[in-house]
Amino acid sequence: MESLFINQLAVFYFKKCSEIKYMNCVESSKAVEILDFSGACSLVKIEGKFFECLENLQVLNLSGTKTLLKELPALTNLKSLKHLFLRGCGQLEALPLLELLHNLETLDLSQQH
Strand partners, 61: 36, 85
Percent of the chain at pLDDT > 70 equals 83
pLDDT in tens, 25-39: 665 577 889 999 888
Asked whether the whole model's pTM tops 0.75, one would answer yes
Calpha distance 109→96 (Å, rounded): 13
The backbone torsions φ and ψ at residue 85, rounded to the nearest 5 degrees and listed phi first, read -110, 115
pLDDT in tens, 54-63: 889 999 999 9
